[in-house]
Structure 1
Amino acid sequence: MNQGILLPESTVQFVTKQEFESFKQREFTKLQQDVTELQRDVHDVQKDLHDVKDDVAAIQTKMNGFGEDMAVLRSDNRAIKRLLGLGVVLPGLTFTVRQLVEMVTY
Protein backbone atom coordinates (compact mmCIF):
# COMPACT_ATOMS: atom_id res chain seq x y z
CA MET A 1 0.00 0.00 0.00
CA ASN A 2 1.42 3.37 -1.01
CA GLN A 3 1.18 5.94 1.81
CA GLY A 4 2.07 9.61 1.68
CA ILE A 5 0.88 13.11 2.30
CA LEU A 6 -2.27 14.11 0.47
CA LEU A 7 -1.93 17.51 -1.16
CA PRO A 8 -4.55 19.57 -2.94
CA GLU A 9 -4.42 18.88 -6.67
CA SER A 10 -3.30 22.41 -7.45
CA THR A 11 -0.01 21.76 -5.62
CA VAL A 12 0.86 18.56 -7.48
CA GLN A 13 3.94 19.00 -9.61
CA PHE A 14 6.04 16.40 -11.34
CA VAL A 15 9.79 16.92 -11.31
CA THR A 16 12.69 14.88 -12.53
CA LYS A 17 15.10 13.28 -10.11
CA GLN A 18 17.77 15.76 -11.22
CA GLU A 19 15.46 18.72 -10.49
CA PHE A 20 14.65 17.28 -7.09
CA GLU A 21 18.33 16.72 -6.24
CA SER A 22 19.12 20.25 -7.40
CA PHE A 23 16.34 21.61 -5.18
CA LYS A 24 17.62 19.63 -2.18
CA GLN A 25 21.16 20.95 -2.77
CA ARG A 26 19.95 24.58 -2.98
CA GLU A 27 17.92 24.22 0.21
CA PHE A 28 20.83 22.56 2.01
CA THR A 29 23.15 25.38 0.91
CA LYS A 30 20.65 27.98 2.18
CA LEU A 31 20.46 26.18 5.53
CA GLN A 32 24.25 26.08 5.77
CA GLN A 33 24.38 29.83 5.12
CA ASP A 34 21.72 30.44 7.78
CA VAL A 35 23.67 28.36 10.31
CA THR A 36 26.87 30.25 9.52
CA GLU A 37 25.09 33.58 9.97
CA LEU A 38 23.60 32.45 13.29
CA GLN A 39 27.02 31.31 14.48
CA ARG A 40 28.41 34.77 13.68
CA ASP A 41 25.54 36.39 15.58
CA VAL A 42 26.16 34.17 18.61
CA HIS A 43 29.87 35.02 18.51
CA ASP A 44 29.08 38.76 18.34
CA VAL A 45 26.70 38.53 21.31
CA GLN A 46 29.27 36.57 23.32
CA LYS A 47 31.91 39.20 22.53
CA ASP A 48 29.55 42.02 23.54
CA LEU A 49 28.71 40.24 26.80
CA HIS A 50 32.41 39.78 27.53
CA ASP A 51 33.01 43.50 26.84
CA VAL A 52 30.13 44.43 29.16
CA LYS A 53 31.54 42.27 31.94
CA ASP A 54 34.93 43.96 31.49
CA ASP A 55 33.28 47.39 31.60
CA VAL A 56 31.35 46.47 34.74
CA ALA A 57 34.52 45.25 36.43
CA ALA A 58 36.31 48.49 35.53
CA ILE A 59 33.40 50.61 36.78
CA GLN A 60 33.17 48.61 39.98
CA THR A 61 36.88 49.09 40.62
CA LYS A 62 36.55 52.85 40.10
CA MET A 63 33.48 53.11 42.29
CA ASN A 64 34.78 51.06 45.23
CA GLY A 65 36.23 54.20 46.82
CA PHE A 66 32.81 55.87 46.81
CA GLY A 67 30.85 52.89 48.11
CA GLU A 68 28.90 50.53 45.86
CA ASP A 69 25.49 51.36 47.28
CA MET A 70 25.95 55.10 46.65
CA ALA A 71 27.17 54.73 43.07
CA VAL A 72 24.32 55.29 40.62
CA LEU A 73 25.00 54.66 36.96
CA ARG A 74 23.05 56.69 34.44
CA SER A 75 21.88 55.35 31.06
CA ASP A 76 24.57 57.33 29.23
CA ASN A 77 27.38 55.12 30.58
CA ARG A 78 28.99 52.78 28.09
CA ALA A 79 28.10 49.59 29.97
CA ILE A 80 24.42 50.54 30.20
CA LYS A 81 24.35 51.38 26.48
CA ARG A 82 25.69 47.93 25.67
CA LEU A 83 23.15 46.29 27.94
CA LEU A 84 20.42 48.33 26.25
CA GLY A 85 21.63 46.96 22.92
CA LEU A 86 21.32 43.44 24.28
CA GLY A 87 17.79 44.14 25.53
CA VAL A 88 18.64 43.52 29.19
CA VAL A 89 17.48 46.82 30.71
CA LEU A 90 15.02 49.58 29.87
CA PRO A 91 16.06 53.15 29.02
CA GLY A 92 15.62 55.78 31.69
CA LEU A 93 16.36 53.49 34.63
CA THR A 94 19.36 53.89 36.91
CA PHE A 95 21.25 51.14 38.67
CA THR A 96 23.80 50.80 41.43
CA VAL A 97 27.04 49.06 40.52
CA ARG A 98 25.95 46.05 42.58
CA GLN A 99 22.66 45.80 40.65
CA LEU A 100 24.47 46.10 37.33
CA VAL A 101 26.96 43.38 38.29
CA GLU A 102 24.09 41.12 39.38
CA MET A 103 22.29 41.63 36.05
CA VAL A 104 25.39 40.75 34.04
CA THR A 105 26.57 37.81 36.13
CA TYR A 106 23.28 36.02 36.85
Structure 2
Amino acid sequence: MFDVLGERLDTTDALADELTGNLAAALDGAGQEAAGFTPEEFVDWVREAVREKTTDVDVDRARLHTQAVFESLAQSVDGTTWNDVRGQLPDEYERLYRAG
Protein backbone atom coordinates (compact mmCIF):
# COMPACT_ATOMS: atom_id res chain seq x y z
CA MET A 1 0.00 0.00 0.00
CA PHE A 2 2.85 2.40 0.75
CA ASP A 3 4.23 2.04 -2.75
CA VAL A 4 0.82 3.01 -4.16
CA LEU A 5 0.61 5.94 -1.74
CA GLY A 6 4.09 7.03 -2.82
CA GLU A 7 2.91 7.13 -6.43
CA ARG A 8 -0.07 9.27 -5.47
CA LEU A 9 1.77 11.92 -3.42
CA ASP A 10 4.01 14.71 -4.67
CA THR A 11 6.25 14.60 -1.64
CA THR A 12 6.61 12.14 1.21
CA ASP A 13 9.79 13.28 2.96
CA ALA A 14 8.17 14.07 6.32
CA LEU A 15 6.11 10.88 6.20
CA ALA A 16 9.12 8.73 5.30
CA ASP A 17 11.07 10.27 8.19
CA GLU A 18 8.45 8.95 10.62
CA LEU A 19 8.25 5.40 9.22
CA THR A 20 10.51 2.40 9.63
CA GLY A 21 13.04 1.64 6.90
CA ASN A 22 11.01 -0.79 4.79
CA LEU A 23 7.85 1.33 4.89
CA ALA A 24 9.78 4.51 4.17
CA ALA A 25 11.56 2.81 1.25
CA ALA A 26 8.19 1.84 -0.22
CA LEU A 27 7.42 5.54 -0.68
CA ASP A 28 10.20 5.88 -3.27
CA GLY A 29 7.72 6.65 -6.08
CA ALA A 30 7.15 10.10 -4.61
CA GLY A 31 8.81 13.21 -5.89
CA GLN A 32 7.81 12.51 -9.44
CA GLU A 33 4.57 13.86 -10.83
CA ALA A 34 1.83 12.42 -8.65
CA ALA A 35 -0.45 9.99 -10.41
CA GLY A 36 -3.99 11.35 -10.52
CA PHE A 37 -6.03 8.28 -9.82
CA THR A 38 -9.40 8.16 -8.08
CA PRO A 39 -9.96 6.50 -4.69
CA GLU A 40 -11.43 3.49 -6.48
CA GLU A 41 -8.36 3.21 -8.69
CA PHE A 42 -6.17 3.63 -5.61
CA VAL A 43 -7.90 0.68 -3.93
CA ASP A 44 -7.56 -1.36 -7.10
CA TRP A 45 -3.80 -0.63 -7.23
CA VAL A 46 -3.55 -1.70 -3.57
CA ARG A 47 -5.48 -4.86 -4.44
CA GLU A 48 -3.03 -5.65 -7.24
CA ALA A 49 -0.02 -4.99 -4.99
CA VAL A 50 -1.38 -7.28 -2.28
CA ARG A 51 -2.22 -9.92 -4.88
CA GLU A 52 1.38 -10.02 -6.06
CA LYS A 53 2.57 -10.79 -2.54
CA THR A 54 -0.12 -13.16 -1.28
CA THR A 55 -3.28 -14.52 -2.82
CA ASP A 56 -6.23 -13.04 -4.64
CA VAL A 57 -7.89 -10.22 -2.73
CA ASP A 58 -11.31 -8.82 -3.54
CA VAL A 59 -12.00 -5.10 -3.78
CA ASP A 60 -13.86 -4.93 -0.44
CA ARG A 61 -10.94 -6.50 1.39
CA ALA A 62 -8.47 -4.18 -0.36
CA ARG A 63 -10.62 -1.18 0.64
CA LEU A 64 -10.65 -2.34 4.28
CA HIS A 65 -6.88 -2.83 4.13
CA THR A 66 -6.44 0.67 2.71
CA GLN A 67 -8.70 2.20 5.36
CA ALA A 68 -6.85 0.36 8.13
CA VAL A 69 -3.48 1.57 6.91
CA PHE A 70 -4.70 5.17 6.62
CA GLU A 71 -6.21 4.95 10.12
CA SER A 72 -2.95 3.56 11.47
CA LEU A 73 -0.96 6.33 9.78
CA ALA A 74 -3.28 8.99 11.19
CA GLN A 75 -2.72 7.65 14.69
CA SER A 76 1.01 7.05 14.46
CA VAL A 77 2.53 10.00 12.63
CA ASP A 78 2.72 13.60 13.70
CA GLY A 79 -0.49 15.57 13.07
CA THR A 80 1.30 18.00 10.77
CA THR A 81 2.66 15.13 8.71
CA TRP A 82 -0.76 13.48 8.45
CA ASN A 83 -2.33 16.81 7.44
CA ASP A 84 0.32 17.14 4.72
CA VAL A 85 -0.55 13.68 3.38
CA ARG A 86 -4.28 14.46 3.48
CA GLY A 87 -3.67 17.81 1.83
CA GLN A 88 -2.08 16.09 -1.17
CA LEU A 89 -5.11 13.86 -1.70
CA PRO A 90 -8.33 15.10 -3.30
CA ASP A 91 -11.33 15.50 -0.99
CA GLU A 92 -12.92 12.36 -2.45
CA TYR A 93 -10.19 10.31 -0.69
CA GLU A 94 -11.67 11.26 2.66
CA ARG A 95 -13.87 8.15 2.59
CA LEU A 96 -10.68 6.06 2.65
CA TYR A 97 -9.27 7.62 5.80
CA ARG A 98 -12.33 8.58 7.78
CA ALA A 99 -13.99 5.87 9.84
CA GLY A 100 -17.73 5.58 9.63
Q: Which has the higher contact order (CA 8 A, sep 6+)?
A: 2
Higher radius of gyration, 1 or 2? 1
TM range (shorter): under 0.3
TM-score normalised by structure 2 residue count: 0.26
- TM-score where L is the length of structure 1: 0.25
